[in-house]
Structure 1
Amino acid sequence: MIVYYFSLPKVLFKPNYTTVIESAEGHFIGAKIADDGQWRFPESDSLPKKFEKCILAFEDQHFYYHFGFNPVSMYHAFLQNRRANKVVRGGSTLTQQVIRLHREGTKRSYFEKIVEVILATRLEFRHSKDKILRLYAAHAPYGGNVVGLEMASWRYFGLKPHQLSWAETATLAVLPNAPSLIYPGKNQQKLLEKRNRLLKKLFEEKTIDKDTYELSLLESLPEKPFVVPQTAPHLLQKIAKTNKGEKIKTTLKLGVHERVNEIVSQYYNLYKQNQVHNIAVLVVDVKTRNIISYVGNSPTDISHQKDVDIIEAPRSTGSILKPFLYASMLDEGEILPNTLIPDIPTQISGYSPQNYDFSFDGAVPASRALSRSLNIPSVLMLQQYSVTKFYEQLQKLKLRDVNRHPSNYGLSLILGGAETNLWDLCRSYAYMSGTLSNYTKTQDEFRSNELANLNYNSNLKVDFGKPKKEKNVFSAGAIWQTFNAMREVNRPQGDEAWRFYDSSLKIAWKTGTSFGGRDAWAVGITGDYVVAVWVGNATGEGRPLLTGVESAAPILFDVFRLFPRTNWFQAPYNDLEEKEICIQSGYLAQENCKSKLQWIPKNNRKTENCPYHKLIHLDKTEQYRVNSTCENIGDIVNKPWFVLPPVMELYYKSKNVNYLPLPNYKPGCVAVNQGRKMEFIYPNANTKIVLTKDFDGKLQPVIVKVAHSETEAELFWYLDDKYLGSTKTFHEKQILATSGTYIITVVDQHGEELKRRILIESN
């Protein structure tokens, strides 16, 4: 009895199954073949009634009445085989066939038959009849490398087993009888005869009626196997790493995912003409964090890395992290939404950032700097905020590829010096959208696990944690203001007039382009979805004209057009405060500037008042500045004036025609407390300048630049004690000197003096 009890292993079949994924609706969308090269689905928990009727009628009519073997059937099989002097009938029950499948490779003999009988009875003790039928259906051979009913159903008919007709089901019922000799595409006539005999038997037993029988006979056999669908091959690869040999019902919405695949295919055919071969798109449902489309790569070829899953690949960020800096500074009260940020030639410890178009605005509102993705204001904002603090914010957002010490990134962290991936990027922006939506819904609550990981398994539900009053990374007010700024980003070609029509997509979005045109990013956010797009070459090869706006953004907007239009985010008034804001500077208003009421995050009330407005004294004509040395006090007109520092003013007035420079002092007035009128544009203090040579080996001078607030000012230049000459209007001077340390001195016609120490190397 002990030997009998342990004669059958607890697990009959090694778990060597095909990894299978289904869409959220239950459609078969992909499979990865088992390690032994067989297409074998994991065992199903149910069996279609049609198949049960067919297989019992064909293989084992007394299945529910015997205890593992059928002596009468075995005796008749023995007599027939003796008369034919060969095996013409097996006489095995379905239970015995399960044992035979379990003991695959064992030589057929009468002794083996005895072993099968013993083990079959043991199997009957262990499992129910339904379980034994499911074991048979999951492991029966169906020709070639197809194993099991479910795989055979997909492979030969492209349907699930329960969707098959009686004729199709009967075909699959007779196939395991001789799978090496008869299967779709081989010995079709024999297969047809076996199927029709089974259908006739079902009719005679009144399992099917006459009409069903006659119509079933008219159905044709499949000619060749269907191709296994590969709708989401890269998600399949990802799932196979953690859920190998399992059937996973994913969160992918098949209709949306197929359309995203079509969009990617269309743009791939367009971009490959510029030798751009790889595209990835990730779409996330914000409310559930479920992934509804996962396109890991474009339909390219092996030579262009078609199997690489770009969604998890670290790539240079370009400008895609700028909204996180903007939100961080808003949140900590270091800027207001429209605080003026300098946009001037900048050099910081030898690092000279440049805007994409190599121009300067002088000063630009912080929100516009974000929407226009200006590099210089972003670098200056990061310098003000600190690289270390921003790095810590990115760690809170769980950007896994930002993993070096902050000093390794420096200020380039905001311009593409770091790497990230589409997965982490979507999770971070979904966190921001979810935080804002939940806060406005509950009035003043955050959720402890708002930064939850993305989910692709329909059987799992994301736990957002418990309600709390403290923010996770950003406050709701800061997120709302950030999304408002991101909504103003210039749309791609063909959608420039989006502000003027009601049907335009209401999304917050941002693009990014890495150095050398290697990576083009676009991410868009609504209250319902986050869509992230990457375009480039998986090999890292850069291409001209590859930018986030021109390459990734069109894909982003085409994907968003698949969804119903949504309303814009509601303002989180419990996290906002209405304050008087200076219209021109964007700072908290002071008495000398025109202001308007504006909603700002509560922490922003600690920011400084406007530093760019001051009260000046004018004569009655308001053409000249005056003071008590040249004008009667009763005739002096006091007027607020918007005044920028000289370098900011130089570039700002070229882009803003309404900007009025300070009037000159009235002749005869003694100017007092004029403030700084001159500033060096280049170089910075204590800068080391290496003079270069041209193609002829001739040493080239350094160009020193100065800005003066008076348009007609004349400046006099000195290098140490040597007079270099004067300049008017445009204040630039060439300096050519031997190696050494020098003092550059600039003096204007009023006697105001400016000095700068530099180190020159001319070797």
Structure 2
Amino acid sequence: MTRIINYIKTRKIKSAILAVLLIAYYFCLPEQLFKDPTTTVITSSNNELLGAQIAKDGQWRFPQNDSIPEKFKACIVQFEDEYFYKHPGFNPISIYKALRDNLKSGSVKRGGSTITQQVIRLSRKGQSRTYFEKLKEIILATRLELRESKNKILSYYSSHAPFGGNVVGLDAASWRYFNRSANQLSWAESATLAILPNAPSLIYPGKNQDRLLKKRDRLLKKLLENALIDSLTYKLSIAEGLPQKPYPLPQIAPHLLQRVSKTNHGKRVKTTIDSKLQQRVNYIIKNHYNQLSQNEIYNAAVLVLDVKTRQVLAYVGNTPTDKAHQKDVDIINKPRSTGSILKPFLYAAMLDAGDLLPNTLVADVPTQFGSYNPENYNKTYDGAIPASRALSRSLNVPAVRMLQEFGLDRFHHYLKALQLKDLKYNANHYGLSLILGGAESNLWDLCKSYAALSSTLNHFSETSSEYFTNEFCEPTFLASDNIEFGDKTSDKTLFDAASIYLTYESLKEVNRPESDESWEFFDGSKQVAWKTGTSFGFRDAWAIGTTKDYVVGVWVGNADGEGRPGLVGVQTAAPILFDVFDLLPNSNWFSKPFDEMQEINICKQSGHRTSPNCNTIEQKFIQVSGLKTKPCPYHVLIHVDNNESFQVNASCEDLSNIIHKPWFVLPPLMAYYYKTKNPFYKPLPKFRSDCIGATNASMEFIYPKENNAIFLPKDFDGKTNDLILKIAHSKPESTLFWYIDSTFIGNTKDIHDMAIIPKQGDHTITVVDEFGNEVKRSFEILK
């Protein structure tokens, strides 16, 4: 140490120069050798290539890969730099031989560069091949050898060497020339790729086959001579043919690649996609597209989520259609009209709030809210129907009436809590049509919401009946992401577990829509809670289903919004849904969340909690919040004679002969439609004629609806058709008196229909029964 200090003191200038040279040598090599744009690459959960997007400079150049297959490593070292593991970055003997031969010939005949030097030359973008440049390469190569390991240097070379055409790097070359990853290449294929960088502009597959074959076989012979392969492997290898032309790179998940590239451009991204499932879903979509396109329906999307991990297992953003039909558009995150797909959330919200029991009867009758007149898909009415059945059959009128009863703002709050990003306006903007497709959402958010509900149930059963604070989190398609569900809590996140479970019990029902179509695509052994939806004008068809383990979402339609006849959820989206579920393992059904439920007596006919007058009672588990619902309002105690033919009272019958009997009674309008679907419905018996009092009666208009604008068509002979007015009365035997604009037009008894031909303009119909009850209805006759 003393000598060094003395040397520096006595030779300050030389020491300073040496120090500057050492510092310059240390910093002469850039921290980042290569700054070329790279291809965006996505792989599956097991590292299979799903797709790649070409680099911005038009080159197929995969991101740096530090993993090099042993076969290629052996081939490239034997072909390019046999002493690679022994030299310090340059090979003096090779340089001497190259210099000797080049001087003799008067031109550059031989390179003599090591792999390390070639890495430096590649990083310097083809500087002129002068002796001064060669000196620079040697200096930089030695610096690189000091900074990086031999394997790292090899990875630089294999990732950035040219392989002919616009193919750069081993990974891209392997897929372009052999249609598989470098790890799957044979010795002959690895040898072929090892010799391509030596003269990429002259020799590449499809050209100069003889020269390429000779070079490859010489390399294989060298591998044999150096005992890197045995004689059998050698014979089999030289028998292999050469690639003739480049293959297109796999495009198994092109729309996911498009989505990933927005935030990870030029990177290699490992996704959560199950490659086998993805390919099979692609095949399903292709088959259905071939059928749907016959009806000019060109687009569809499918998303499959793992409920427990919230990972995306399959992502099909569109069909394999053409550019004219927007094949490159990723539908999964695009806003579309929701149709009926939000109805389960309303049902769950009403259960959760204690406003409803699962089978409570809800009205299904002609309904009008101002100018809004919702109708069921099949244009018919059931009068009254259990709420769960109304959901499973996706009836529109009960849904709108339930929304009106629950509260538009209240339901809007629940939807905002689901984090539906396309729900951008306040509740009044959507109105009651919110439940029938008045709002927009996307397949991603809807599947996310169903997955959150399923996961809530799973977690509630797996823990000590607890919830998680971050249950409604975003799914992920990035393998590097770990979903955090937050902290455990005894408080529900949004819906309680019982409300979700009871909603899913309803969604298990499959006999919808109301037609008699065969349900050939449903495997009854699979228990799936699912819902379809169809937007107004047949523009969007939805089907979303969930099991304990998976959520599958399907959208079908045209990306440009064109509607098509037959574009309904159950006919176009549901078959795809169940084809995909057939690919997934069967799941056990959700465990019943007993801690959020209570078994109580329920009126079998009405679905309400029992009242003293209910005559048919069953025990059912309901959500705890449902305990505050009102008792059955439809069962009343009436007094009938011995034959139960007439109602009687003390004015006309001896008390000993009066039977006190519970009776199921619906309001007139509900009863009018209910009895057409329920032949065993028994209306209240009439009062015996000799009885006094008991005149309670009610009536409602069936037609026209309030403020209807009506056009009266004409027959072929030019005669204007009648307008048929209809009333439902709780005592049909009563006499009703009809007035139009205060003018008496007649009376009816038993059947309360009145035919009139009113003049053009506004009118008011008034009906009075014999007990003095009165109803009015305004309407307009159009010309």
When normalised by structure 1's length, the TM-score is 0.95
CA distance in 1, matches of 2:575, 2:520: 15
CA contact (8 A) 1:582 1:589 kept: yes
The amino acid across from 1:600 in the alignment is I
Structure 2: give runs of 5+ residues left out of the alignment: 1-20
Measured after TM superposition, the shift of residue 541 of structure 1 is: 0.6
Q: What is the aligned partner in structure 2 of residue 560 from structure 1?
A: 581
Measured after TM superposition, the shift of residue 116 of structure 1 is: 1.8
Q: Residues 252-401 of structure 1: matches in 2 within 5 Å? A: 252-401=273-422
Deviations 1:24-75 (A, max 9, x none): 2221121111111111111112222222222111111222232222222112
Question: In the superposition, relative to structure 1, how do residues 760 and 3 fare at CA in structure 2: closer, same or farther (>3 Å)?
Answer: same
Deviating more after overlay: 134-143 vs 461-470: 461-470
CA contact (8 A) 2:708 2:780 kept: yes
The amino acid across from 2:67 in the alignment is S
Deviations 1:272-308 (A, max 9, x none): 1111111111111111111111111111111111111
Q: Residues 541-620 of structure 1: matches in 2 within 5 Å? A: 541-593=562-614, 594-620=616-642
Q: State the SS of the aligned residue for 2:332.
A: helix
Q: What is the aligned partner in structure 1 of residue 652 from structure 2?
A: 630
The amino acid across from 2:436 in the alignment is L
RMSD: 2.2
Measured after TM superposition, the shift of residue 566 of structure 1 is: 2.1
Q: What is the aligned partner in structure 1 of residue 192 from structure 2?
A: 171
Deviations 1:622-671 (A, max 9, x none): 10001111111221111000011111011111110010000111012123
CA distance in 2, matches of 1:761, 1:710: 30
1:185 pairs with 2:218: no
Q: What is the aligned partner in structure 2 of residue 454 from structure 1?
A: 475
The amino acid across from 1:153 in the alignment is S
CA distance in 2, matches of 1:757, 1:642: 28
CA contact (8 A) 2:714 2:720 kept: no
CA contact (8 A) 1:691 1:762 kept: yes
Of 230, 245, 248, which residue of structure 2 is paired with 1:209?
A: 230
Measured after TM superposition, the shift of residue 694 of structure 1 is: 6.1
Q: State the SS of the aligned residue for 1:174.
A: helix
Question: In the superposition, relative to structure 1, how do residues 94 and 79 fare at CA in structure 2: closer, same or farther (>3 Å)?
Answer: same
CA contact (8 A) 2:712 2:781 kept: no
Deviations 1:439-489 (A, max 9, x none): 122241111221121111223221122211111111110011000100113
Measured after TM superposition, the shift of residue 561 of structure 1 is: 1.1
CA distance in 1, matches of 2:430, 2:392: 24
Deviations 1:189-232 (A, max 9, x none): 11111111112222222222222222222222112222211011
Q: State the SS of the aligned residue for 1:664.
A: coil
Of 666, 674, 685, which residue of structure 2 is paired with 1:644?
A: 666
Measured after TM superposition, the shift of residue 172 of structure 1 is: 1.1
The percentage of counterpart residues that share the same residue type is 54
Of 249, 270, 280, which residue of structure 1 is paired with 2:270?
A: 249
Q: State the SS of the aligned residue for 2:473.
A: coil
CA distance in 2, matches of 1:566, 1:81: 73
Deviating more after overlay: 432-441 vs 336-345: 432-441
Q: What is the aligned partner in structure 2 of residue 133 from structure 1?
A: 154
Measured after TM superposition, the shift of residue 565 of structure 1 is: 2.2
1:539 pairs with 2:563: no
Question: In the superposition, relative to structure 1, how do residues 489 and 754 fare at CA in structure 2: closer, same or farther (>3 Å)?
Answer: farther
The amino acid across from 1:52 in the alignment is K
1:753 pairs with 2:773: yes
Q: What is the aligned partner in structure 1 of residue 122 from structure 2?
A: 101
CA contact (8 A) 1:692 1:699 kept: no
Deviating more after overlay: 14-23 vs 383-392: 14-23
CA contact (8 A) 2:702 2:726 kept: yes
The amino acid across from 2:772 in the alignment is E
When normalised by structure 2's length, the TM-score is 0.93
1:661 pairs with 2:710: no
Deviations 1:322-357 (A, max 9, x none): 000000000111010011110011000110000000
CA distance in 2, matches of 1:176, 1:532: 47
Q: What is the aligned partner in structure 2 of residue 229 from structure 1?
A: 250
CA contact (8 A) 1:704 1:735 kept: no
CA distance in 2, matches of 1:691, 1:274: 34
The amino acid across from 1:531 in the alignment is V
Measured after TM superposition, the shift of residue 404 of structure 1 is: 1.2
CA distance in 1, matches of 2:105, 2:27: 38
Measured after TM superposition, the shift of residue 680 of structure 1 is: 2.4
CA distance in 2, matches of 1:540, 1:732: 44
Deviating more after overlay: 2-11 vs 476-485: 2-11
CA contact (8 A) 2:712 2:723 kept: no
Deviations 1:368-407 (A, max 9, x none): 0000000000000000111111111111111111111111
The amino acid across from 1:645 in the alignment is P
CA distance in 1, matches of 2:719, 2:139: 99
Q: State the SS of the aligned residue for 2:162.
A: coil
CA distance in 1, matches of 2:219, 2:63: 27
Q: State the SS of the aligned residue for 2:129.
A: coil
CA contact (8 A) 2:255 2:318 kept: yes
CA contact (8 A) 1:58 1:198 kept: yes
Question: In the superposition, relative to structure 1, how do residues 18 and 360 fare at CA in structure 2: closer, same or farther (>3 Å)?
Answer: same
Q: Residues 58-137 of structure 1: matches in 2 within 5 Å? A: 58-137=79-158
Measured after TM superposition, the shift of residue 734 of structure 1 is: 4.0
Measured after TM superposition, the shift of residue 556 of structure 1 is: 0.9
CA distance in 2, matches of 1:82, 1:524: 76
Measured after TM superposition, the shift of residue 86 of structure 1 is: 2.6
Of 46, 52, 59, which residue of structure 1 is paired with 2:73?
A: 52
Deviating more after overlay: 22-31 vs 137-146: 22-31
The amino acid across from 2:371 in the alignment is G
Measured after TM superposition, the shift of residue 727 of structure 1 is: 3.3
Q: What is the aligned partner in structure 1 of residue 731 from structure 2?
A: 710
Question: In the superposition, relative to structure 1, how do residues 259 and 757 fare at CA in structure 2: closer, same or farther (>3 Å)?
Answer: closer
CA contact (8 A) 1:447 1:467 kept: yes
Q: State the SS of the aligned residue for 1:392.
A: helix
The amino acid across from 2:775 in the alignment is K
Question: In the superposition, relative to structure 1, how do residues 498 and 231 fare at CA in structure 2: closer, same or farther (>3 Å)?
Answer: closer
Q: Residues 672-683 of structure 1: matches in 2 within 5 Å? A: 672=694, 674=696, 676-682=697-703
Measured after TM superposition, the shift of residue 755 of structure 1 is: 3.0
The amino acid across from 1:8 in the alignment is L
Structure 1: give runs of 5+ residues left out of the alignment: none
Of 31, 37, 61, which residue of structure 2 is paired with 1:10?
A: 31
Count of residues in Structure 1 that have an aligned counterpart in Structure 2: 756
Q: State the SS of the aligned residue for 2:778.
A: strand
Question: In the superposition, relative to structure 1, how do residues 202 and 14 fare at CA in structure 2: closer, same or farther (>3 Å)?
Answer: same
Q: Residues 511-530 of structure 1: matches in 2 within 5 Å? A: 511-530=532-551
